[in-house]
Amino acid sequence: MSDRLARLSGRLREQGYRVTGARRAILQELVSSSGHVSADELAALVNRRAPRVGRMTVYRTLELLQQLGLVRPIYLGSGAAHYVLLEDGHHHHLVCARCDAVVEFDDCLMQELEQRLGERYNFRVQGHLLEVVGLCESCREQEPA
Amino acid sequence: MSDRLARLSGRLREQGYRVTGARRAILQELVSSSGHVSADELAALVNRRAPRVGRMTVYRTLELLQQLGLVRPIYLGSGAAHYVLLEDGHHHHLVCARCDAVVEFDDCLMQELEQRLGERYNFRVQGHLLEVVGLCESCREQEPA
DNA sequence: CTCTGTGCAAAGGATTTGCACTACG
DNA sequence: CGTAGTGCAAATCCTTTGCACAGAG
């Protein structure tokens, strides 16, 4: 359950960052919403439980998590960035190119690819985000063309 | 060379969209910059050759291309979305989580995965975007921790 | 106790919208 | 010609920054 929470805050601590109340609250919501949240949406969620945590802290914490490779921003519809947790270093979903519906999937054929890439480009791979893009069923029905 | 250009504008036409001068100019720059451009950067590039094309048209064209599955927005560092062409339906790169350096790579083990996914989730797959995230060589040197 | 992290407010950008005008097909 | 596409300017929304204060280690 808060396995994941513990793992995430562990990562912060071991990299020399403080595990503050605000950060814990943010991680908490990020894990329990385990979906695609914008910074503002996340701030609103956090505020319900920890009203003293401001929007700015959410932005800054997301940036930190991103630098640590724990989170990735994606673009979903409107101008705001949405964030996904890289659970165990990876995340996968299908996105409808038209209505931005999202379907999560778990298949992962990529451990091997990651390793090869890391070696070839001298890159320490932390994880990956794979978006498969296309049209969902209902968008396809609307326009059979 | 403008193979790709022809292919892209073909896609527009066959979906019932007009291939206007502005759109041609935008596709042109998108292909020749074949990298990661923000909407504003792209508008600037387009303006050098076609000064009468406004920034708004670039935004709207990018949205259209996105809906057709020809382009994908990604977040790279600062607030603005960057766009990548889904050449032949796919794009791959490594992104440094710290400095946002980008390394392109071509490996693609995913045709099979795509097909399976399309069937399972009843999704018409148009392409995919795979980001492998980690630390680049120089960021790793800065902090050997 | 010290220094990292936080909150606020305001600035700075990016994106979206409404409407009159142009030009592709 | 008719309609999809365009350009402009303004409005809106998202993100970043600077600085004084609070709290984790």
Q: In terms of pTM, does the model score above 0.85?
A: yes
Domain termination site, one of B87, B107, B125: B87
Q: Is the pLDDT of residue B140 over 70?
A: yes
Distance (Å, whole) CA B142 – CA B145: 9
Instruction: Give the separation between CA A36 and CA A49, rounded to whole angstroms.
Output: 19
Q: Average pLDDT of each block of 10 consecutive residues along chain A (145 residues)? A: 86 95 96 91 95 96 95 91 91 93 84 87 92 90 64
The Cα–Cα gap between A136 and B135 comes to 34
A7/A75 same-domain check: yes
Strands A124-135, A90-96: pairing is parallel
Mind listing the pLDDT tens digit for each residue in B3-21?
A: 889 999 999 999 999 999 9
Residue from B71, B133, B136 whose CB has the most chain A CBs within 10 Å, to mutate:
B133
Q: pLDDT for B26-73, tens place per residue? A: 999 999 987 899 999 999 999 999 999 999 999 999 999 999 999 999
The single residue listed with the structure tokens 């050449």 is B87
What is the residue whose two structure tokens read 């596709």? B27
Per-residue pLDDT band at B107 (split at 50, 70, 90): confident
Contact between B123 and B117 (Cβ < 8 Å): yes
In terms of residue numbers, what domain contains A123? Answer: 88-145
Give the CATH number for residue B21.
Answer: 1.10.10.10
Q: Which helix (H) or strand (E) holds A96?
A: strand A90-96
- Regarding whether A25 and A48 lie in a shared domain, the answer is yes
Other beta carbons within 10 angstroms of residue B139's beta carbon come to 18
At B1, the pLDDT band (50, 70, 90 cuts) reads low
Does the pLDDT of residue B144 top 60, yes or no?
no
> Would the Cβ of A116 be found within 7 angstroms of any atom in strand D?
no
Residues A5 and A30 in one domain: yes
Q: Are residues B8 and B75 in the same domain?
A: yes
Separation of first and last alpha carbons in chain B:
45
Record: contact A105-B96, CB cut-off 8 A: no
Residue A13 burial (10 A CB sphere; 0-12, 13-18, 19+): exposed
Q: At B142, which CATH number? A: 3.30.1490.190
State whether A79 and A42 are in the same domain: yes
Residues of A with CB below 8 A from B135's CB? 69, 123-124, 126
Looking at the 3D structure of chain B, how many domains does it have? 2
Between CA A70 and CA A33 the distance in angstroms is 15
Specify whether A53 is located in the same domain as A72. Answer: yes
For chain A, first and last CA: distance in Å? 46
CA distances from A136 to A142, B33, B84 (A): 10, 30, 21
Residues of A in contact with B127 (CB under 8 A): 132-134
3-state SS class at A112: helix
Which residues of chain B (18-77) touch nucleic strand D at CB < 7 A?
18, 20-23, 52-54, 56-57, 60-61
| A82 shares a domain with A35 | yes
Cβ A12 vs Cβ A23: under 8 Å: yes
Residue of A nearest to B98 (CA): A67
